Structure 1
Amino acid sequence: MDPIYYYLIAAAVVAFIPLLRTLFCSFHTLVHEAGHAIAALLTSGKVYKISLFPNTEGLAYTSYRSILSGVIIYYSGYTFSTLAAILSFYLIFNGELTLLYYFFILLALCSLVFWVRNFYGVFWVLFFLGSAVYMEYYQLDTLREMFILFFSSILLVQSILSSFQIFIMSITTPRHAGDATGLAELTYIPAFIWGTLFFGQSLAGAYIIFQ
């Protein structure tokens, strides 16, 4: 079996162990919320702050100028994390681990400097960056490779699990389904349609990766 499958299995197991989930899966939350922030900036909106929480939930506090820009911002979170997972495995399969490593660091660093403001969020991003700097300083190449493969796997697994959760919530509690609810309020398209879209595109992302 290809070694990457062991990382994917580990990422799936971690998702159901509370302490480890808090420690590692916040990476997906950071990427998700960064997607909202980037979309806000690209549509001339504003980003006030990002908050990350120990339960791996997060919030991006943004504003938008039009309904269209609001739709783009709400839609961007799950989409960005899926695209980031595809990009990560594309770079892995093409042997560009170093480039992916610095992409992770740059995204975390920019988020820390410009957006993340709550205590847990700052602590987690500093922990993530500190781990990366430690491995880089001491040239721990094997550990760095494991770091890259594991967090890429976290990104893929969590993009599927979190979108599945929103899909279920969009059916059972459509008024409390996060981004799907926000999109429903802006477009009058039912939340479960957006939940289905989020989950479907995460599965499509996984299909592309495994192909």
Structure 2
Amino acid sequence: MRTASGAQLDFSRLALLVLMLGVGWYFWDSPVFWPLKVLVVMMHESGHAIATLLVGGSVDKIHLAANESGSCLSRLPPGVLAKVAVYSGGYLGSAVAGAGLLLATFRFRLRRWVLGAACVWLAVMGLVYGGDLFTKAFCLGTAVVLGLCAKYLPDGAVDVVNLFIAAFTALYAVVDLKDDLWNAAVRSRSDAALLADLTWVPAIVWAVLWTLLAVGLLGVAAYWSLHAKPRGLQMPSVSTRARRV
């Protein structure tokens, strides 16, 4: 399968992505993956924080909990649109993070830059916005681990770590939408419920909108990530050179 730019489907990338998704799904309840789940929760709360700053508000504190919940306490400027943007920033933020990791890892092969950027992000969020000891300890501890991985792991091991974090983040973003927005009991206490109270648009409508946007974004990122660009310079054809002569 070839795109308009000449990129072809890379079956090795597809196999790796399917393998990583399968491992994440099969061992979903394993305590080994607990740090990754809390990491994606931090992405969710960071989405709220970034949206808050973009609309001119300020972030007070971010809290993470061992039960994989989280909160972002912020001060918002007046106006409905600002609140809509901030309330939507969580689920869409984790989807954007998943899509970005897929592209950075599979398409652009940024390797150590992915872990380095994650290390800096966690350190900044923990030091500046960490609202309790657990949040600070998790962010700074995970930042140290990722930084050490980026510095000392061999290239092949870095690729494996990046691939799994990217795949797991994308998987968790979709599962998070399913568990939070398509479970009526949970949805009534979610960001969708806050928007329903603010806009009078039912929470289920927000759930549908966010799900479509998030899955669409992840789908586009996966499509681009799994298509390899042609390598090397493209030599002109013989007929082209003949005409130039």
TM norm structure 1: 0.89
Greater fraction helix: 1
Change (3 A) 1:52 1:156: same
Which of 179, 185, 191 is residue 191 of structure 2 equivalent to? 179
Q: Percent identity?
A: 19
Pairwise CA distance, 1:40: 0.7
Pairwise CA distance, 1:137: 4.0
Which of 187, 197, 205 is residue 217 of structure 2 equivalent to? 205
Which of 37, 46, 54 is residue 42 of structure 1 equivalent to? 54
Q: Which amino acid aligns with 1:83?
A: V
Mind listing any 5+ residue stretches in structure 1 that lack a counterpart? none
The higher radius of gyration belongs to 2
Question: Match of 1:48, SS?
Answer: strand
Moved more, 115-124 or 56-65: 115-124
Q: Alignment length, in residue pairs? A: 208
Pairwise CA distance, 1:77: 0.9
Pairwise CA distance, 1:144: 2.4
Pairwise CA distance, 1:174: 4.5
Question: Match of 2:61, SS?
Answer: strand
2:47, 2:89 within 8 Å by CA — same for their partners in 1? yes
In the aligned structure 2, how far is the partner of 1:174 from the partner of 1:150? 29
Pairwise CA distance, 1:157: 0.5
Moved more, 138-147 or 184-193: 138-147
Structure 1 residue 103 corresponds to structure 2 residue 103: no
- Supply the RMSD in Å over aligned alpha carbons: 1.9
In the aligned structure 1, how far is the partner of 2:54 from the partner of 2:102? 25
Change (3 A) 1:97 1:136: closer
1:37, 1:47 within 8 Å by CA — same for their partners in 2? yes
Mind listing any 5+ residue stretches in structure 2 that lack a counterpart? 1-11, 224-245
TM norm structure 2: 0.78
* Aligned residue runs from structure 1 range 89-128, under 5 A: 89-92=102-105, 93-128=107-142
Pairwise CA distance, 1:56: 1.3
Question: Match of 1:148, SS?
Answer: helix
* Aligned residue runs from structure 1 range 1-211, under 5 A: 2-17=15-30, 19-66=31-78, 67-92=80-105, 93-169=107-183, 171-172=184-185, 174-176=187-189, 178-211=190-223
Question: Match of 1:25, SS?
Answer: helix
Pairwise CA distance, 1:47: 0.6
